[in-house]
């Protein structure tokens, strides 16, 4: 009788301990998110990088769901730069790659995508990744050319690179 009870105990224990893990793995998702402070520091560094080059720009940092987290407009940047910067950043969240890369890779659908409300396939936005996960994007608008906007956006992310690389 004792032999029979031991034969059943191990399989029952294995099944019971495996159930919560399977349910947890199937029912919950862990995601990385930017803090407000991190997003603010990215936007601030992007705007200041452009200011040092003589450009008045706006920078918009969106989270992984393309919701604006920080919006910053330099004093003389036109108001239109706010919407353009956000729409560039949204293109990054949609595609998972920098907006210039998205524009080049998908030139075949550029005209159609630019008709989608909230998306612009223009250079000037880069991904924000923490420990390999896309946590958002920063879009910049107002410099004389998307390449210059992108350089400022990259400077914004570079300013917090250590914090992103060591995120858990």
Every domain of the chain and the residues it spans: 36-165
Q: Are 109 and 135 in contact (CB under 8 A)?
A: no
Q: Distance (Å, rounded) from C-alpha 142 to C-alpha 84? A: 9
Mean pLDDT, rounded, of the chain? 88
pLDDT number for residue 168: 64
Is residue 92 within 8 A of residue 106, CB to CB? The reply is no
- Cβ of 167: how many Cβ atoms within 10 Å? 16
Name which of 9-13, 74-78, 153-157 the model is least confident about. Answer: 9-13
Q: Give me the pLDDT at residue 114, please.
A: 87
- Asked whether the beta carbons of 51 and 156 are under 8 A apart, the reply is no
Fold of 36-165: Beta-Lactamase (3.30.450)
- Collapsing DSSP to helix, strand or coil, 108 comes out as helix
pLDDT given at position 131: 86
């Amino acid at each position: 009788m004792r032999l029979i009870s031991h034969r059943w105990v191990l399989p029952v224990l294995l099944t019971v301990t495996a159930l919560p893990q399977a349910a947890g793995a199937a029912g919950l998702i862990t995601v990385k998110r930017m803090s407000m402070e991190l997003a603010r520091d990215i936007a601030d560094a992007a705007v200041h990088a452009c200011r040092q080059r003589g450009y008045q720009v706006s920078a918009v940092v969106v989270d992984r769901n393309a919701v604006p987290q920080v919006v910053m407009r330099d004093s003389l940047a036109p108001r239109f730069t706010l919407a353009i910067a956000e729409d560039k950043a949204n293109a990054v969240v949609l595609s998972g790659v920098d907006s210039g890369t998205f524009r080049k890779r998908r030139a075949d659908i550029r005209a159609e995508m630019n008709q989608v409300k909230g998306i612009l396939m223009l250079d000037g936005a880069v991904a924000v990744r923490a420990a390999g996960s896309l946590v958002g994007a920063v879009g910049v608008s107002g410099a004389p050319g998307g390449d210059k906007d992108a350089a400022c956006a990259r400077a914004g992310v570079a300013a917090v690179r250590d914090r992103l690389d060591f995120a858990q």
